[in-house]
Every structure is written in structure tokens, then in C-alpha cells.
Structure 1
Amino acid sequence: MNKHLKELIELSQIDKAIDSYNPQLETADKKVVKVQKKIDAAQAELDALNKEIDENEDKIKAYEEQLTLLNEQLAANVKKAKEISTEKEMKALSLEEDIAKEKMTFANEEIERLQGINETKRELAKEAEEKLAALQETFNTVNEEVSAQKAEIESAKGELFTQREELSRNIEQKVLSFYEKIRIWAGNTAVVPVKKQACYGCYMKLNDKTYSEVIKADEIVNCPHCGRILYMESVTEEA
């Protein structure tokens, strides 16, 4: 087999091995992202509950202030009643008191209702906090596992990069550049085997002349259809 072809086959196999780790890294990262999304959702739920509780507390405070004003108004009306001299004024004052009392009843009912809602929401918020804490623990565990896994992968990739660098130094620059140009568009299928007289990059059948050249392996042969570098993975009886 041609020396350069042999070197390119080996280089291609190293490149495939390096890139084969990428899906593992992506899967590892997805584990962390998946838990992080759950944490974000739990945090958003907790924030929404706390916001609703705060809004209800503001409403309760407003109703309590309204009750204070209405109480002051009723107290003032008691004083006014002593100074009233006509029935018309008495009726007007009585109507004013009735309206004030209705407002007070409504305010008290609303305060009670909002306090009940907040009691429920505080329980839900407590559950959300516990859920968030549990998810954070899960995240820490998963993150540690993923970090260890990624460290192993990066270490393995580092060894392969070292092998690649050593091999690249020994390959003729012109041949290496030729390989890299094809790899830009073909990726890890820049160098592919021929099986059943077909290129295993584009799966097109080779003509007899090209097929014969691939079998001989005296020179680097490109697929006439796609341009990939071809080699015989094994010499079959048919060949």
C-alpha cells in the first residue's frame, strides 16, 4: 500500500476517534441542562407565588387603611349627629353611615379572603422551596458526575490529539493539505473504504479502472463521483 495512503487512513481513523467523543460531551452537557431547566422552572414557580403573596399583602394593607379611614368617618359622624337639627340632615348622615358600614363589611371580607389565599400560597411556596432545594442537590450531584466524565473524555481526546500531531508531522505537507481540504466538506468521511465496488462515502459504483487502482493501492485514488480518498478495507476473493 502507498505510504501516504496508509498515513492518511491512520490519520482519518484518529480524527474519527476524536470526533466520536463529541456526542458523549453533548449528552453529558444535556444532563446538566435538563436539571437546570427544572431548577429554572421551580424558581419561576416560587417567584410567581411570592409575587402573588406580596400583591395580596399590598391589597390587605390598602383595605386596612380604608377601614381606619371609615372608622374615623363613623366617629366623626357621631359628633355630627349631635349637631344635626333637621330630619333631612339626619337621613343624609344615616345614608352616609350605611355606605361606610357596607364598605367596612366588604373590606373585612376581602381581607379574610386574601389572607386565606395567602395561607394556601405560602404552603405552596414552602413546597416549591423544598422542591427547589432537592433539585439543587440533584444538580450538584449530576454536575460533579458530568465534570468527571468530561475530564476523562478530554484526557482521552488529548492523547489522540498528541497522536495526531505526531503523525501529521511525518506526513508530507502537500498530502496533508490535500486531506484537510477534503475534510473541510467531507468531515470524517474524507477517507472511506470501497466495498462491493462502491465508494462508502457517496455509495456510487466505481468503474473498473478506478476500482483496479484502488485495489493496487499504489497511489492515492479519489472517488470520481464525490472526490473522497478511497482504499480497500480488505482484499476480498472477488477482488
Structure 2
Amino acid sequence: MATTTATASPRWWGGGKSPFDVEYGKLMMWYFLMSDAFTFGAFLIAYGTTRFATNGWPDPNQVFKSYPLAAETANAPLVFVSIMTFILIISSVTMVLAVQAGHAMKKRSVVINLILTIIGGLAFLGCQAWEWTHLHHEGAWWGSNPFPNADGTNATTNFTNFFFTITGFHGFHVFSGVIINIVMLIMTLCNVFEKRGHYLMIEKAGLYWHFVDLVWVFVFTCFYLI
């Protein structure tokens, strides 16, 4: 009688593939991003519910009309935040290039694009710091709203409370992403990924950075455009 030998399939918890045919660490990153998306979603839904349940709301064209060097006299609605958004989008492009370079095992290109991504993240944070400082100088902060509603009536502090909370939460994510990319840069320079034979960690960091950029699109739409 012939005997058959069963071939054991690789176990995903023992270093093989996950049930979704995705590398385990990348799968965990997707789980984390999904949970983080729920948090941002809750914030934005609460903001939208409060805004459209309120009779009046400040006009973003009047609130966000300043930019550095002409903060007191500028009247350029949304120009500065558009520059911030452009910087973040460009940093997402350089992150894509870093991931692609990692797939091709091109260390030099990975280093260059990670540096550009870090610079973009720091530039965005610098712009946000200036915006917060300027708004605080005008009297805006948690519990304080100097901006009237678009119809001229007095506004509640809901606008500033939501603005500083949500943009601050997003800014913390950008800061975290910059730190992660700095760590990835150091590991690249130390040939950690070359020794491993892959740059998979760069791809995971890229997922996080693209998520941060995508969330900003919703934050930008809710606060600055609508």
C-alpha cells in the first residue's frame, strides 16, 4: 500500500503569509489605519453635525485670509492653506518615489526621496505653527472665538474648539510621520534594509504617510472650503 505524505501549508503566524495574502506587518498597518480613520471620522462627523445644526458659522474666507510677512494687511483667502496643502501633496509624491526606489533596491534614491519627504513634513508643520500663532494672536483658541458668523451675528466657540482639536490631532500625525521617516532614513543609511534584502518597512511607512495626506484633504474641505 502506497503511503502519502501530507504537505503542511505555511502558517501565517509563523512567518508565512496572512490569511489575506498580505505580509503580516503590512496587514497590521492597515488595521491601525482603519482604526485611526474611525477616529478622524468621528471628529469630522461631530464637526459636521454641530455646524449644520447651528444657525450661523464664521466665513472661512474671512478667517483664513492671512499669510506670513503680511499677516495684518493681507486679504488673500485660502492662499496660505493652499500652499500648505500643495507641500503635503508633494511630500506624498516623494514618498511614493522612495517606496518605488526601495522595490528596485536603489538605496541612494530612497535616501534622497526620504529626505525630501521629511523636509515637506517639517515645512507643513512650520506653516501650521505659523497659522496657529497668527490665529491665537487674533484671539482665537479653545474656548475663544473672535470671528463673527457670516451673517454678522456672534459666533459660538464651537468653530475654534473643533478647528484646533482636529487640525492639532492631524498635526500630531504629521509629526509622528516625520519621526517615522527619520527613523527609516537612519535605518537606510545604516544599510539595515540592504542586509535584509528588502525595503518593506519603507512601504509600511509610506502607507502611514499617504493616510495622513488623505485625511488632510477631508480636513481642508471641511474647515477651509465649506
Shorter-chain TM-score above 0.5: no
| Higher helix fraction (1 or 2) | 1
Larger Rg: 1
**Per chain length, whose mean CA-contact separation is higher, i.e. which structure has more relative contact order (CA < 8 Å, sep 6+)?**
1
Taking structure 2 as the reference length, what is the TM-score of the superposition? Answer: 0.30
Taking structure 1 as the reference length, what is the TM-score of the superposition? Answer: 0.29
